[in-house]
Amino acid sequence: MKTKHITAAILALAASAAQADPFAITYTGTIANSTIPEVHNGERYTVTLVLNDDGDSANSAEWQSSPEEVPCVIWRMNNAGNVVFAQAWEGLAAPNPIDVMGRTATNAAGQLTEVFNGVRHENVPAVPGSHKAQAGLAAPVNTWFANGANGVFSTTSASFDDPAGGVQMTPARWTNPVPFTGNCLDTTAVPIPPITPPSPGSGATPVPTLGHAALALLGALVGGVGLRMRRRDNS
């Protein structure tokens, strides 16, 4: 294989691998009026929306008002991130999926220009246990709202709000899309970084990454090129 052909193969491999993962955007807010014993007033919470990649990069992308566009939502409460609730939708044939309103979009640099008008789920206990996970909460989760018109999060017996008037659905309050490679239902504690106030587009611009298999193949290709070049120099 000629060097230019190998280079083309490497570039094609990198491009395909960069599109393999979904993306995530995250909002950071402040807990207020909490009647949930495990959720502390004045501390932070985050809500992460995982977005389908649809075979595309995060540049000049659009995600429309459909549950399939948001396959996973993760809530983390308290500065320690030790109260967690997550839901995954892929393969879920529930009669009450999440409501997704509006769209999310980015510009050519992968920076948010629009965020959904709202994402919400009511009657959460009806979701099968294989598609949800929680940690640090004694009561089942009942309802959550990512919009600027409702309270934020409630269990079957208590709730909390955001002093901003709910989760603010403006691009400046959310991070830019970044590749999401984690397990949606992992409830491991993750400390929540302070963002006061959130800066516009506070998330990093997505950086294409290669998986382990792609890296191994890339290494083999590059190694082969180097070996042939050394043999040519020695001839």
User: Could you give the C-alpha distances from 221 to 156, 177, 209, 229, in angstroms and in order?
Assistant: 56, 30, 17, 13
More confident residue, 18 or 96: 96
Cβ-proximal residues to 20 (8 Å cutoff; 6+ apart), any chain: 53, 211
**Each residue of 178-205: pLDDT tens digit?**
999 889 999 999 999 775 544 444 443 3
**Each residue of 60-76: pLDDT tens digit?**
999 998 888 999 999 99
Global pTM reads: 0.76
Q: Peptide bond preceding 197: is omega within 30 degrees of 0, i.e. cis?
A: yes
d(CA 228, CA 2): 10
Amino acid identity of 162?
D
**Each residue of 132-174: pLDDT tens digit?**
999 999 999 999 999 988 899 999 999 999 999 999 999 999 9
If 0-12 CB within 10 Å is exposed, 13-18 middle and 19+ buried, where does residue 214 land? Answer: middle
Which pLDDT value is given to residue 215?
Answer: 33
Average pLDDT over residues 32-49: 97
